[in-house]
Structure 1
Amino acid sequence: MFLFTPYPIISTLFLALSFSVSNAQLNATFYANSCPNVSAIVRNVVQQSLQSDSRIGASLIRLHFHDCFVNGCDGSILLDNSGSIQSEKDAAPNTNSTRGFDVVDNIKTSVENSCPGVVSCADILALAAESSVSLTGGPSWNVLLGRRDSLIANQSGANTSIPSPFEGLANITAKFSAVGLNTTDLVALSGAHTFGRAQCRTFVNRLFNFSGTGSPDPTLNSSYLTTLQQICPQNGSGTALANLDLTTPDTFDNNYFTNLQSNQGLLQSDQELFSTSGSATVSIVNSFSSNQTAFFQNFAQSMINMGNISPLTGSIGEIRLDCKKVNGQGLEIISMYDLSRNKNILASY
């Protein structure tokens, strides 16, 4: 809940902030002087985490993805519930699903020990995503940095803006377009499902009663269907896990696209990239399946594109000292922008 402040002194600050999203550019050398070892610190923690949890790379990149699609890449997904914040962690796409918050906290602690009060949680998410990919066999890229952290969360936005595994291709394409990402970005970023796991509840509808037909999804490979039905029985809990990539589930490669060509995409949103007749996504899937280098190059660029979604820069937002909560106590002045960044809501709490 936001309480509009009655204090007249805030009007000056409002004029300074309103309708003035920073145009400052992110850049790869943002911390060159203030925290030159930040990339190595992040990479080290991710590498240690991968030794005990092979899923963590996929989980960390998903946090970055789910963060960026809600009010931009501002670390809002990391905020816990408080008197003034309804956490995005409790939104339908995230609850009992997103994970890796403890690793983010470990990274933040390590970074703070080296460079206190300098590196944002939003930038940590971007760096952790790159490390997660490159450490598991995927491409590396120069992460653009300079984001600041939001002072708010947007639970309702998380419920509506994040693409769902149950959605058709048209809806997902529209959600990507809404944040400035094109069809190539959609296919390339979907390729992150080349590693990690998914709970049965995210695809069990395809196995027994697809779209209310009483039958499985006809696009599912028959032998793959049998395997999935064994993992996810019709009356199961829905929390069992299946590999997103049935061939190399812990390696970042282009097998995801080969799987789609064989009708072995796990999620509806995956398989529709290839099985939607006439879609521009089909040729891109074919290209990435036959040329891993092309996939890697496009994936790296699409990650940069996604990381550029409406970042807070300059003096907007803050550098959180604890990624789970905003800094300080008492009255906080915030500037909240919607996804288009055309609207400013000044609030206090």
Structure 2
Amino acid sequence: MKLSAVFLCALVAVLLAAMSSVEAGELEVRYYANKCKSVENIVKWHVIKALKANRRTGAALVRLIFHDCFVRGCDGSVLLDKSYDNPHPEKEAPVNIGLAAFDLLEEIKAAVECRCPGVVSCSDILIYAARDAASFLSNGNVHFDVAAGRLEALDGFVSKADEVLEISVFSAYKYDRPGNYSREAFSTIPHEAQAELPDSTDDVEKLLTTFAKKNFTNEELVILTGAHSIGQGHCSSFTGRLTEPPSQIDPKYRDLLNFKCAQGDNPTVDNNVRDEDPDVVAEFLPDFVSQLRKTHDFLDHTFYNNTLDNIVNFHSDTALLNQMETLFHVHEYADNGTQWDEDFSDALVKLSKLPMPAGSKGEIRNKCNTINYSLHTSY
């Protein structure tokens, strides 16, 4: 009886998953050169194909790297789906609303597994994909080498009780040790992400504190926030902006946001006004029509010009104007897009190297959205 190629790939991956979990080692550029030399080409091919069909996917990938790495390191925990053992995954945190591109990562993972089964982690695939997306959206101006060798977290849905957003849920599971769970007792949704990630309503002091905890400087806060030149935000993320005074938001832009947010149940609005519907911009910001682009989601320094003009969506964006050092860097990058391209590339490298907690054990998952249950779950 003939076996399909897909079945054979899956069978080999399951057999390789029988290996024990291990601690993550040092990250290296060209880590897979002698293990899976085609991995970067595979990832890039799938990413470019997806972005040519929908550039929005690129913004989703860039956002994913931040939301994964900022919470206990780049461990792929944000990729985990809800399951019997994981009823409240990290991706359900309110601050993670609208995360996307998960299907694309699963597609890439499946392609890599067929070529190099059990070798490449989803967390590495995410970093490669985000790098390629940033490069594509910036016309190659953002680029960097990826140091790889990451493992996936075995316990991506477990958090410290004093760091989570307190939301009552039914008693469910007890955490014993990395990679071993039994159904006994959780009392809160484990959204460490809600506590660790910056929020769109944060003021500048809260933002500085949040980034300093991850050893990012005030300038790097400003640099990374520049990614808001692409993507979209849900209206629920900036409801306060809809009534802010003219000193905080351009009144005409505020009217545009109110118009857009009245169009449905928590709709999305482009983070960059230049990506908006030309007819809407012509009605509310006619002086801005000349700046509209035919190509949406172009990753560049225009976020800083928009911030200075008070035509940005989030309170956390305009908050950068309220502290001397962050204000200085907003002006710096508004005037020098080339410098921002270089500094943003460096900041993504630093972000991609945020480690899992010391002593953490990890694995290479068979699929990005679930741990290898057969090895790590007890009932």
Cα distance in 2 for partners of 1:240, 1:262 equals: 24
- 1:308-337 CA deviation, whole Å, 9 max, x = no partner? 1114799930111100111141545xxxxx
Q: SS in structure 2 opposite 1:310?
A: coil
Alpha-carbon offset, residue 150 of structure 1: 0.5
Query: Structure 2: which amino acid aligns with 1:187?
Result: V
- 1:66-100 CA deviation, whole Å, 9 max, x = no partner? 111111110000111233323112111124x1111
Shift >6 Å, 4+ stretches:
312-315
User: What residue in structure 1 maps to residue 252 of structure 2?
Assistant: 223
Aligned residues: 304
- 1:173-218 CA deviation, whole Å, 9 max, x = no partner? 111111121112211111111111111111122112x4xxxxx463
Q: 1:41 to 1:312 in 2, by over 3 A?
A: farther
User: What residue in structure 2 maps to residue 265 of structure 1?
Assistant: 312
Q: Are residues 1:201 and 2:236 paired?
A: yes
Cα distance in 2 for partners of 1:299, 1:117 equals: 32
Q: SS in structure 1 opposite 2:147?
A: coil
Cα distance in 1 for partners of 2:333, 2:325 equals: 13
- 1:223-259 CA deviation, whole Å, 9 max, x = no partner? 21222221123xx645222111112541011111111
User: What residue in structure 1 maps to residue 214 of structure 2?
Assistant: 179
Query: Structure 2: which amino acid aligns with 1:150?
Result: A
Q: 1:264 to 1:331 in 2, by over 3 A?
A: closer
Q: TM-score when scaled to structure 2? A: 0.75
Q: Give RMSD over aligned pairs.
A: 2.2
Cα distance in 2 for partners of 1:66, 1:223 equals: 32
User: What residue in structure 2 maps to residue 3 of structure 1?
Assistant: none
> Unpaired runs of 5+ in structure 1?
1-16, 211-215, 333-347
Q: 1:37 to 1:313 in 2, by over 3 A?
A: farther
8 Å Cα contact 1:207-1:225 kept in structure 2: yes
Q: SS in structure 2 opposite 1:317?
A: strand
Cα distance in 2 for partners of 1:311, 1:145 equals: 14
- 1:259-315 CA deviation, whole Å, 9 max, x = no partner? 111111211111111x21x43111111111111111011101111111111147999
Query: Structure 1: which amino acid aligns with 2:212?
Result: S
Query: Structure 1: which amino acid aligns with 2:144?
Result: W
8 Å Cα contact 2:229-2:301 kept in structure 1: yes
8 Å Cα contact 2:234-2:269 kept in structure 1: yes
Q: 1:172 to 1:106 in 2, by over 3 A?
A: same
Cα distance in 1 for partners of 2:331, 2:369 equals: 41
Q: SS in structure 1 opposite 2:47?
A: helix
Greater helix fraction, Structure 1 or Structure 2? 2
8 Å Cα contact 1:26-1:144 kept in structure 2: yes
Q: SS in structure 2 opposite 1:135?
A: helix
292, 297, 304: which is aligned to 2:337? 292
8 Å Cα contact 2:241-2:313 kept in structure 1: no
User: What residue in structure 2 maps to residue 60 of structure 1?
Assistant: 61
8 Å Cα contact 1:149-1:312 kept in structure 2: no
Q: SS in structure 1 opposite 2:108?
A: helix
User: What residue in structure 2 maps to residue 90 of structure 1?
Assistant: 92
Cα distance in 1 for partners of 2:309, 2:50 equals: 33
Q: 1:119 to 1:230 in 2, by over 3 A?
A: same
Q: Are residues 1:191 and 2:226 paired?
A: yes
Alpha-carbon offset, residue 54 of structure 1: 2.1
8 Å Cα contact 1:185-1:302 kept in structure 2: yes
Query: Structure 1: which amino acid aligns with 2:95?
Result: P
Alpha-carbon offset, residue 131 of structure 1: 0.8
User: What residue in structure 1 maps to residue 7 of structure 2?
Assistant: none
Cα distance in 2 for partners of 1:202, 1:77 equals: 19
Cα distance in 2 for partners of 1:120, 1:180 equals: 25
Q: SS in structure 2 opposite 1:25?
A: coil
345, 352, 368: which is aligned to 1:307? 352
Cα distance in 1 for partners of 2:359, 2:151 equals: 8
8 Å Cα contact 1:75-1:121 kept in structure 2: yes
> Unpaired runs of 5+ in structure 2?
1-21, 158-189, 276-295
Q: TM-score when scaled to structure 1? A: 0.81
